[in-house]
Amino acid sequence: MAKEEKMKTPKIPPIAKRITELKTENAFVVGVETAAWEAKSGKKVMKFYIGQPDKETPVNIQRAGVTATYNGKTGYTPSAGIYELRKAVADYLTRTRGILVLWEDVVVGGGAKPFIGYAIICTTEYGKGHEILCPNPGFPIYESQALLHGAIPIPLMLYEKNNFNFDIDDLGRKMNKKTRLVILNSPGNPTGGVLSKEELKAIAEILRKWPKAWIFSDEVYSRIVYDAEFSSIASLPGMQDRTIILDGASKTYAMTGWRIGYAANKHLAKHFGTLVTNTDSCANHMAQWATVEALNGSQDIPEERVRIFKERRDVIVDLLNKIPGVTCLVPGGAFYAYPNVTDACKIVGATNSEDFRKKLLYEAWVSVTADTHFGPQVPNDGEHVRFSYAASMEDIIEGMSRMKAWIESYKK
């Protein structure tokens, strides 16, 4: 009998190692865990684990999407996107980056994420040992896409003592003949760090010595900067031609679910368009028209929401710094706080940041992500967790109150 049952067990053909080992974006994993605990416990969890604005898409943008639907804009578009959106993006980048971007240089995709993979495919050869320098902690898809496409991710460590920017000299040391792509993310996820124009000039000076290396400038939070002007490395002499500018509608316009991102580089636009043809055919037609309205329409609501994010930043950083065992730098952009919880871990008996964030979820009903969700832990830099303050002010105040009371209960 056992032999017959064994014979009936289906045999599955092998699955590629590069897909079975593919890493994910842990904010979504934490989201599933959070929802399950909330349902089981029956108590509301204060959610700070994902970077999603708490406000809905502005009404003028919603209406543009609905109108496009009623007007029959429901079929395929050119793979690179409709002309009207590519032109709107080009004008927007020209206006905000201080450079000339033509509509032909722009490609629209199903969110900003696909362009990470597209850029890696276009600039590295699979299995040739080509290296990609990327910030650590950083958006986890940089590393996962590098490995998926046969490149080697090399971390640029973001130290707290450097205000979560990497050491320029470290960049110089890690550049070599195999470096094909350098990823910059400013304002940054998860730390909220912002590269100043002077820092970008120093980076550009190093990169000029390595003409085979492209630059991937992830600027999806470019409009969410609080204390200084946003600067793009593409605006510096000699940098635009070799820089892939990445931006999107999700964060600035609260359009995360519309899935519209865009990238610009005149030398790679044609190839990006071919890759879109091979993957998604085209971005959502109606959402493209909604994004035309987002870029060309009134900017009053997005600008007001940045002001609100700044208020929330000031509140959450102040409250975090009043919690025992917690210290938090003031982030310059995006909507993330990245506090050091090394001493808090000791107070609550957590072995590391991941253990801390689990205890915080299950004992205090506060959900965050850990530093290890954004790459290997930075050596000798302590334990950190990330809070997204895209949540409401009420949730921020309640969440910080719960966290403070929870840690103080251990002290007592």
CATH 3.40.640.10 residue window(s) in the chain: 59-296
User: Exposed e or buried b for every residue in 363-375, given b needs 16+ CB within 10 A?
Assistant: ebbbbbbbbbbbb
- How does strand 243-248 pair with strand 261-264? antiparallel
Residue 215, strand partner residues: 182, 243
pLDDT tens for 273-325 read: 999 999 999 999 999 999 999 999 999 999 999 999 999 999 999 999 999 99
Are residues 313 and 323 in contact, defined by beta-carbon separation less than 8 angstroms? no
Residue 2: predicted pLDDT: 53
pLDDT (0 to 100) of residue 265? 98
**CATH 3.90.1150.10: which residues of the chain?**
7-56+301-411
What pLDDT is recorded for position 6? 57
The confidence band for 32, taking pLDDT boundaries of 50, 70 and 90, is very high
**8 Å CB contact between 172 and 208:** no
Average pLDDT over residues 182-187: 98
Cα 248 to Cα 86, 115, 273: the distances in Å are 12, 11, 16
Structure tokens at 15: 């699955």
Q: Are 95 and 339 in contact (CB under 8 A)?
A: no
Closest among 133, 336, 354 to 224, alpha carbons compared: 336
CATH architecture of 59-296: 3-Layer(aba) Sandwich (3.40)
Architecture of domain 7-56+301-411 in CATH? Alpha-Beta Complex (3.90)
Show Cβ contacts of residue 174 under 8 Å, excluding neighbours closer than 6 positions: 133, 154, 156
Check: CB of residue 107 under 8 Å from CB of residue 262.
yes
Alpha-carbon distance values, 339 to 31, 133, 322, 355 (Å):
20, 25, 12, 15
For strand 261-264 and strand 336-337, is the pairing parallel, antiparallel, or unpaired? unpaired
Q: What is the DSSP letter of 375?
A: S
- pLDDT for 271 beyond 70: yes
Residue 157 to residue 136: CA distance in whole angstroms = 5
pLDDT value at position 10? 76
Quickly state the pLDDT bin for 7 (edges 50, 70, 90).
low
Q: What is the pLDDT of residues 220-243, one digit of tens each?
A: 999 999 998 999 999 999 999 999
Whether the pTM exceeds 0.85: the reply is yes
Percentage of the chain exceeding pLDDT 90: 93
The 10s digit of each residue's pLDDT in 343-385 is: 999 999 999 999 999 999 999 999 999 999 999 999 999 999 9
Q: How confident is the model at residue 11 (pLDDT cuts 50, 70, 90)?
A: confident
Average pLDDT across the chain, whole number: 95
pLDDT-derived band of residue 393, with 50, 70 and 90 as boundaries? very high
Residue 39 pLDDT > 90? yes
pLDDT tens-digit series, residues 44-103: 999 999 999 999 999 999 999 999 999 999 999 999 999 999 999 999 999 999 999 999
Q: Tell me the CA distances in angstroms from 72 to 67, 68, 248, 285, 308, one per residue in order.
A: 9, 6, 24, 10, 37
Backbone torsion region of residue 238, taken as left when φ is above 0, otherwise alpha when ψ lies between -120 and 50, otherwise beta: left
